[in-house]
Every structure is written in structure tokens, then in C-alpha cells.
Amino acid sequence: MANRDKLRQLTVGAKKNFRKEIVKYDGEDFELRQPSVADRDELMEQCQGEDGKLRMTEFITWTLINNCYVPGTDERVFGKGDYEALKSQPTGGFVDELGNAAVRVMNVQEEEVKNSEDG
């Protein structure tokens, strides 16, 4: 096999393995799923302020809406209608706990979080 073909087989030709992380909160399991590169970029663009900085509250909220599932199913835990309810939760609660896992599976660079408006 030519080197190019081998490299392509290892990358664009390989099976897509999206990471998942199970987070236990108040005795229940939640599954946070890694999005595609395109979905992550769209989410990050949606959550940028006018100054180009990532609005972390928006990012965490929309990440939970888009990537939090009932484990082992394709059923999302939260929907778009939960946006305000998620944003109004107290800090240090389930939004922060699930949000930390969401950031890990999103593979967002620490520098991007530090440069956010909320970070």
C-alpha cells in the first residue's frame, strides 16, 4: 500500500469514534457526547461575543442542549426550550458539573476558555 493510501486509511478512511463521558449527578447518569468538528465550530461561532471572545455561559448552555443524552440512547436530556432554565441555575450545580464534562469532550483548548468573557 502506498504511503498516502495508508495515511488516508488511518484518518479519513477510519471509523469515526466519538468520545462519550458518563457523568453521575444526584445518583443519575448523564452521557456527554463529543460533536463533529463542524458542529463544534458552529457552536463556538454561535457563542462568540461581538469582540470575538467565547461567551462561556452561552457555550456551556448550548453544549448541554446539543450534547447531553440519556445514556445508551439518542434521546437528548435538554431541548432548546430549556435554554433560559439552564442559564438561570445556580453556579456549582448540575450545569457546572455537566458543563465541565462537556468542555472535556468538546476538546476545546484551555486557552479558548481562558480568553472567554466569563473565564
Give the tens place of pLDDT for each residue, 41-69. 999 999 999 999 989 899 999 999 999 99
Give the C-alpha distances (Å, rounded to integers) separating 70 from 27, 52, 75, 84: 14, 33, 6, 21
**Can you give the CATH number for the domain in which 91 is found?**
3.30.2220.30
pLDDT bracket for residue 111 (50, 70, 90): very low
Count of structural domains, the chain: 1
Asked if residue 10 belongs to a domain, the reply is: no
Rounded to an integer, the average pLDDT of 89-101 is 93
pLDDT in tens, 72-90: 999 999 999 999 999 999 9
pLDDT of residue 1: 64
Rounded to an integer, the average pLDDT of 6-10 is 91
Asked if residue 95 belongs to a domain, the reply is: yes
DSSP class of residue 76? B
Asked if residue 119 belongs to a domain, the reply is: no
Q: For 10-14, 23-27, 66-70, which range has the lowest pLDDT when averaged over its residues?
A: 10-14
User: Which domain covers residue 29, as residue numbers?
Assistant: 18-114
Asked if residue 11 belongs to a domain, the reply is: no
Asked if residue 55 belongs to a domain, the reply is: yes
Alpha-carbon gap, residue 97 to 26, rounded angstroms: 11
Asked if residue 37 belongs to a domain, the reply is: yes
